[in-house]
């Protein structure tokens, strides 16, 4: 028989071997097993767990010990102040991606008129949904989101329903911009493309942590030999269509910490007249590229 406090301490000791945040993991997983919020754990710390609850907590800890991310175990991830459903079909939203939302919201407040925003590679839908929930000119802005994974799109739709923006965002299946009807670009709209595409080099992906490599979808992370495959493909798609090129105002991209100069070069190759700014994240690493076309 173990109390909440004892169960937590035992779990922390086990998790120390594999996790960088054993306390937080143990708290979140115990709160999840008991279906209470984290703060109540401490108010009830001397309460003895039932056999059933104790065993279900042990099963969760065993999964975590095999490196499964906490967010996949609990199916929750907070991003931009919103709670997203996640499972192994989608990348777990990262805190650094919040910078991409902030920059896109900034650009959209400059280009308020007849604005359409396209989130390319939407995954859990965290970018399109956070923008829909926070944009000041909600009623007049159109939002589209695409992904190459049908399962990811199902999750994005589920999250959009959860956050009551399902009717606001059109989710489309296909390769980058391809699923968007070309008639859309002929409507004299101002377009902003926002994208967090796979940008690790294949080698970086191979060397990443077991938590990521074993559990998160490779197609969400591996950007090919030099990590630039999807950026180049996106730029080609933009440049090959004059309607897209004419109506596009900005592209905001999440990029790898060492990719700034390479993406700048690639951007200049495809859009010689564009201006290119890099924004750093809280760790002072290159994280978001803003391309003004």
Give CA–CA dist 71/85, Å, rounded.
Answer: 9
Residue 222 main-chain phi, psi, to 5 deg: -80, 110
Q: Is 147 in the site for ligand SAM (CB under 6 A)?
A: yes
Nearer to ligand SAM, 123 or 227 (CB): 123
Q: Which of residues 189-228 bind ligand SAM (CB under 6 A)?
A: 196-198, 219-220
In the complex, minimum distance from the CB of residue 92 to ligand SAM, in angstroms, rounded to a whole number: 7
Q: Which of residues 151-190 bind ligand SAM (CB under 6 A)?
A: 152, 175-176
DSSP secondary-structure letter at 166?
T
In the complex, minimum distance from the CB of residue 12 to ligand SAM, in angstroms, rounded to a whole number: 29
Q: Is 291 in the site for ligand SAM (CB under 6 A)?
A: no
Helix boundaries (H) for the chain? 4-15, 22-34, 38-43, 51-65, 70-74, 98-110, 126-134, 150-162, 202-207, 210-215, 229-239, 242-247, 260-270
Q: Which of residues 51-110 bind ligand SAM (CB under 6 A)?
A: 91, 93, 97
In the complex, minimum distance from the CB of residue 284 to ligand SAM, in angstroms, rounded to a whole number: 21
Nearer to ligand SAM, 61 or 193 (CB): 193
Q: Which residues on neighbouring strands pair with residue 144, listed in sequence order?
A: 118, 170
Dihedral over Cα of 199, 203, 206, 207: its sign: negative
Q: Is 121 in the site for ligand SAM (CB under 6 A)?
A: yes
In the complex, minimum distance from the CB of residue 211 to ligand SAM, in angstroms, rounded to a whole number: 15
Q: Is 127 in the site for ligand SAM (CB under 6 A)?
A: yes
Using an 8 Å Cβ cutoff, are 229 and 197 in contact?
no
Count of positions on this chain that bind ligand SAM (CB under 6 A): 23
Q: Is 146 in the site for ligand SAM (CB under 6 A)?
A: yes
Using an 8 Å Cβ cutoff, are 84 and 53 in contact?
no
Give CA–CA dist 221/21, Å, rounded.
Answer: 23
Chain residues in the site for ligand SAM (CB under 6 A): 91, 93, 97, 120-124, 126-127, 146-149, 152, 175-176, 196-198, 219-220, 230
């Amino acid at each position: 028989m173990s109390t909440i406090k004892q169960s937590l301490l035992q779990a922390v000791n086990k998790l120390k071997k594999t996790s960088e945040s054993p306390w937080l993991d143990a708290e979140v997983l115990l709160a999840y097993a008991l279906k209470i919020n984290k703060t109540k754990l401490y108010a009830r710390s001397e309460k003895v767990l039932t056999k059933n609850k104790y065993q279900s907590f042990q099963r969760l800890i065993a999964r975590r010990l095999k490196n499964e991310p906490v967010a996949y175990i609990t199916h929750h991830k907070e991003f931009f102040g919103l709670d997203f459903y996640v499972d192994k079909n989608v990348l777990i939203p990262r805190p650094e991606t919040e910078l991409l939302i902030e920059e896109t919201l900034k650009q959209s407040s400059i280009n308020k008129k007849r604005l359409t925003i396209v989130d390319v590679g939407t995954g859990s839908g965290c970018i399109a949904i956070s923008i829909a929930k926070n944009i000041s000119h909600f009623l007049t802005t159109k939002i589209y989101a695409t992904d190459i994974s049908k399962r990811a799109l199902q999750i994005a739709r589920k999250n959009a329903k959860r956050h009551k923006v399902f009717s606001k965002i059109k989710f489309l299946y296909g390769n980058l911009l391809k699923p968007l009807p070309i008639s859309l670009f002929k409507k004299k709209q101002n377009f902003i493309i926002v994208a967090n595409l796979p940008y690790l080099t294949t080698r970086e992906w191979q060397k990443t942590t077991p938590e990521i490599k074993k559990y998160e979808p490779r197609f969400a992370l591996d950007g090919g030999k030099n990590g630039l495959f999807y950026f180049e493909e996106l730029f080609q798609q933009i440049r090959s269509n004059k309607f897209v090129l004419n109506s596009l105002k900005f592209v905001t991209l999440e990029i790898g910490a060492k990719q700034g100069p390479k993406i700048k070069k690639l951007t200049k190759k495809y859009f010689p007249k564009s201006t290119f700014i890099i924004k750093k994240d809280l760790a002072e690493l290159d994280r978001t590229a803003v391309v003004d076309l």
